[in-house]
A and B are shown apart, each in its own frame.
Chain A
Amino acid sequence: MDGVAQRGAASWENGTLAPVDRLRTERADSPTPGLVEGTEPGAGQKSAMFIHAQSFEDLTAAAEQEVGREAELDQPGECGEDLKVLVGEQAIEEQHNSDIASESRPKEEDVSSETWRSHRKHVFVLSEAGKPIYSRYGTEEALSSTMGVMMALVSFVEAEKNIIRSIHADGCKVVFLAKSPLVLVGVYRTCQSDKELLRELQYIYYQIVSLLTLTQLNHIFKHKQNYDLRRLLAGSEYLTDNLLHRLDRDPGLLLSAVTCLPLASSARDVVSSSLQAAKSKSLVFSILLAGDCLVTLVRKKDQFLHHIDLHLVFNLVGSSSSFREGEGWTPICLPKFNTAGFFHAHISYLEPASKLCLILVSTDREDFFNMSDCKQRFLERLNKRSAYQALKEAVKCPSYSVEQVGIPELRHFLYKSKSSGLYTSPEFPAVYQSDEEQERLMGLYQDLHSHLHHPTRPLRSFYRCSETENLLAWVTSGFELYLCFSPLGTKALAVSAVNKLLKWIRKEEDRLFILSPLTY
C-alpha cells in the first residue's frame, strides 16, 4: 500500500483547462481533459442540477445550515390538531399498529444468538427518551433494553457537556449520531472510518425525516416525550431496510452522486425538452428515472435538488411496487431542501411494464389532477418523437462493458464529475457477478474513499495491491476516480490508464452525462 498525501503524482495534472461554456464537440476533442472543477469530463455546460455543495463534507458538518428556500411548502404545522389527536389515541391502536409492524417484517431473530451478533452492520434508531424506533435486525421489543443502555451512554456523556461520537472495541465500532429528537447508533464490524459510518447514519436520519418532516418530529416529541414513533413509521420500515442495503451496494451513495442512463444526447435533449414543456405552476422538479439511473431532471429556476434528496426518491420508487398500479400521489419531505414541509409527488410509470418512472414534485397537495395532466402532456409529446424509441432501447441496456474503454487489465471503475454531481461506471465484469463479490468490491471502494476523504489526513491518490485486485483512487478538484485492475496490472499501467480513461469519458460524455440540464 502506498499513499501520496496532498501531492499530485502525474505530470498531466496541469493540463490545459477547457473553458466551461465551449461547444460540446470542441470539448469532446480536447486532448487533455480539464482537471479543475467545471471543466472535467461530465461537467455540465450550464448551471449544475444539484445543490452545489461540498457534498461529502456537507454531510458530516456538525451544524446544519438551513438555507432559506423560495418555494412555498406545505407546512405540517397546520396539521397540529390532527397530531394532537394522533398522540392521544387509544390503546387499541397501539396494539393494532405493533401487530402490523411485526407482521410485515419477518425479522424475528434471537437477539442473544451468535448470528444476530455476527451481522456486519447494525443500525438502531431511538428517541431521546430511549424508546426504540428502528432496528435493522431483530425486533425493537427484544432490543429495548439494549437501546436503553445506548441512550444511557449518550446522556451520561452529555451530562458532562460532551458529545459521544464513537467507541472502538474488539474489532467493533459503535458510532453515535445525536440529531434531536432522534439518536442513531451504528454497531459495525468493518474498517470504514467513523466519518463514513456517520454518513450512513445521516442517510437513515434523512430517510425518517423525509417520511415525517422534522417539524412534525419535533412537535410530537415536544408534546409527548416517550411517544412510540413506530406507530407513525409502521409500514415504512422497509424503506429504511432498503436504504441500508443500498448503502452497501450503490456507488452513488458513496460518491454523493447520481448516475445517468447512457443515452444519445440528441434523444435525451428531446426527452428533457418534452418534460420542460409539460410544466405547471406548482411544479418544482420533474424527474425521469430508469431503474436506478437518472434519465433527466428538469427543475424550477433557482431551485436545486440535493443528491441526498434524489437518493431518497430513488429509494422510495425502487423499494415500492405500489406505484406500478395507477398513479401514486404522496406527501414527501425532501430534507436537504427543507426539513419543515412536505412536497407532494405524483409518481407513475410511463407504461405498465416499463422501467421508466416519472416523478413530478409539486408544492400543492391539491394539485393531483394538474400533475396527472402534465404527465399526459409529456407522454403525448414524447410519443410523437422517435427519441422515445431510442429511450426505450437505451433502457434495455442501461450500462456498458468495461471492454469498450479498451484498457488492458481494467476491470471496473467509478468516475464522478464533481461539478455536475454525476458519476459513471461500467457494469460489473464476470469476476464480480455474485452479490458477495460485488459487495466486496464496494467495500474496497469504500475503503479507498475513506482514505481520500480522511478528516485530518486526506490523500490525493492511493494505490493498493492485493492478491485479488489492484486498485487506484485519484481525486482532483474536478473529479474523483476509482479504478479496479486485475492483480496482473502494474502501478505504471494504472497511472497511464487514468489518462486514457479520462479521454474515453470525454469522448463519451455526451452519452454518459447530462450536460445541459433544463429549467422550466
Chain B
Amino acid sequence: MGENLRGGAQLQNDTLRKSLRTLKVKLVLLGSSGVGKSSLALRFSKDEFRRTSPTVGCAYLTRVVHLRNVTLRLEIWDTAGQEKYHSVTPLYYRGAQAALLVYDISKRETFIRAQVWLKELEKQYIPGSTVIWLVGNKGDLATHRQVSVEEGQSLANDRGLFFTEASALSGDQINELLLAIAHRVYECIGVQQEGLSEWKETPLVDLRNRDKSSRLASCC
C-alpha cells in the first residue's frame, strides 16, 4: 500500500527530530452546520478542499505540526453542529486545549449562533486551559459579507478570544491559523505542569498518513 511506504519514509526523515518531544493537543471545531468546519478540518489535516455531505456525529482527524523545540500532534474533532447532537457535543469539547468557534462571514445568524456556543463553552472550561479562537470562515465570499471584520475582532477582544478570518476554499490564512494556534497552545498551556500530555509513538498509529508532517516546520 502506497500510504504505508510513504509513512515509512516519513518516519525515517523524522528520526532527525526524534530528540524533540511530541505533545498531544486536542482541538475541537464548533459552530453551526454549514459554516465550513469539516472543510477547515480537511485543510488542517491534508491541505485539501472537497465538497462533502454534512458531517454525521463527529469526525476525527490528525495533523502534526513542528515548532522550533517541540512537535505538536493536533487531534482534531470536527463536530456536526446539528441540534440533535447537542447533547453529546460537550463530550467532544471536554478537555480540549483549543476550541475553534467557526462562523460564516456571509451569514449573520451563524455569527450570533457562535456567541451561543461561546456561552456554553465558557460554562465548561477552566480559564487558562483552553485557547479559544474565533474563526470567520468563507473569507472568499467577501462580496456577500454580512459580518464585518471589525465586528468579529471586537467580539474577540471583548471576550478574550483570538480571531482570524480565513477561507477553507481558497486556503487563505489556513496555514497561518494552524501555526498560530499551535504556538498559542504551546505558550499558554504547554508550559504548565501537565498542561499537555506527551504522545507516545506506537506502531499502530505510526504508519498512517493522517500523521502527515507539517510543511510549516521550516518557517518557525
On whether the beta carbons of B84 and A236 are closer than 8 Å, the reply is yes
On whether the beta carbons of B61 and A325 are closer than 8 Å, the reply is yes
State which of B41, B62, B88, B205 has its C-beta within 8 Å of the C-beta of A331: B88
On whether the beta carbons of B204 and A100 are closer than 8 Å, the reply is no
On whether the beta carbons of A93 and B53 are closer than 8 Å, the reply is no
Q: Taking A321-B53, A326-B78, A330-B57 as contacts, is the C-beta distance between A100 and B33 under 8 angstroms?
A: yes
Q: Which residues of B contact A330 (CB under 8 A)?
A: 56-58
Q: Mark B67-84, 1 if CB is under 8 A from A, else 0.
A: 000000000101010111
With the chains together, A316 CA to B59 CA distance in Å?
15
Q: Is residue A489 within 8 Å, beta carbon to beta carbon, of the partner chain?
A: no
Contacts of B23-64 to chain A: CB distance below 8 A: 32-34, 38, 41-42, 45-46, 50, 52-62
**Interface SS of chain A:** helix
On whether the beta carbons of B33 and A329 are closer than 8 Å, the reply is no
With the chains together, A371 CA to B32 CA distance in Å?
27
Q: Which residues of B contact A352 (CB under 8 A)?
A: 3
Q: Is residue B87 within 8 Å, beta carbon to beta carbon, of the partner chain?
A: yes
Q: Is residue A453 within 8 Å, beta carbon to beta carbon, of the partner chain?
A: no
On whether the beta carbons of A322 and B53 are closer than 8 Å, the reply is yes
State which of A79, A238, A328, A347 has its C-beta within 8 Å of the C-beta of B87: A79
On whether the beta carbons of A321 and B204 are closer than 8 Å, the reply is no
Q: Mark A150-172, 1 if CB is under 8 A from B, else 0.
A: 00000000000000000000000
Q: Is residue A76 within 8 Å, beta carbon to beta carbon, of the partner chain?
A: yes
On whether the beta carbons of B41 and A325 are closer than 8 Å, the reply is yes
Closest CB-CB distance, A192 to chain B, in whole Å?
30
With the chains together, A93 CA to B33 CA distance in Å?
12
Q: Is residue B159 within 8 Å, beta carbon to beta carbon, of the partner chain?
A: no
Q: Taking A322-B38, A322-B55 as contacts, is the C-beta distance between A95 and B91 under 8 angstroms?
A: no
Q: Mark A312-331, 1 if CB is under 8 A from B, else 0.
A: 00001001111111111111
The chain B residue sitting closest to A373, CB to CB, is: B204
Q: Which residues of A contact B59 (CB under 8 A)?
A: 322-323, 325-329
Q: Is residue B210 within 8 Å, beta carbon to beta carbon, of the partner chain?
A: yes
Q: Which residues of A contact B183 (CB under 8 A)?
A: none
Question: How many residues on chain A are close to B (CB under 8 Å)?
Answer: 51
Contacts of B198-220 to chain A: CB distance below 8 A: 204-205, 210
On whether the beta carbons of A326 and B86 are closer than 8 Å, the reply is no
State which of B34, B53, B58, B210 has its C-beta within 8 Å of the C-beta of A320: B53
Q: Is residue A300 within 8 Å, beta carbon to beta carbon, of the partner chain?
A: no
Question: How many residues on chain B are close to A (CB under 8 Å)?
Answer: 42
Q: Which residues of B contact A376 (CB under 8 A)?
A: 204-205
On whether the beta carbons of B83 and A329 are closer than 8 Å, the reply is no
The chain B residue sitting closest to A74, CB to CB, is: B88
Q: Is residue A92 within 8 Å, beta carbon to beta carbon, of the partner chain?
A: yes
State which of B33, B38, B57, B86 has its C-beta within 8 Å of the C-beta of A86: B86
Q: Is residue B145 within 8 Å, beta carbon to beta carbon, of the partner chain?
A: no
Q: Which residues of A contact B142 (CB under 8 A)?
A: none
With the chains together, A380 CA to B206 CA distance in Å?
12
Q: Is residue A212 within 8 Å, beta carbon to beta carbon, of the partner chain?
A: yes
Q: Which residues of B contact A96 (CB under 8 A)?
A: 32, 109-110, 113
Q: Which residues of B contact A365 (CB under 8 A)?
A: 88, 91
Q: Is residue A310 within 8 Å, beta carbon to beta carbon, of the partner chain?
A: no
The chain A residue sitting closest to B88, CB to CB, is: A331
Closest CB-CB distance, A241 to chain B, in whole Å?
12
With the chains together, A100 CA to B113 CA distance in Å?
13
On whether the beta carbons of B1 and A328 are closer than 8 Å, the reply is no
B residues bordering A, Cβ < 8 Å? 1, 3-4, 32-34, 38, 41-42, 45-46, 50, 52-62, 76, 78, 80, 82-88, 91, 109-110, 112-113, 116, 204-205, 210
Q: Please give me the 8 A-B residue pairs with the lowest Cβ-Cβ distance, nearest first.
A: A330-B57, A326-B61, A82-B87, A79-B87, A376-B204, A232-B84, A321-B52, A235-B82
Q: List 11 A-B contacts (CB under 8 A).
A: A76-B87, A96-B109, A100-B33, A234-B84, A235-B82, A322-B38, A322-B56, A325-B46, A326-B60, A327-B60, A383-B1
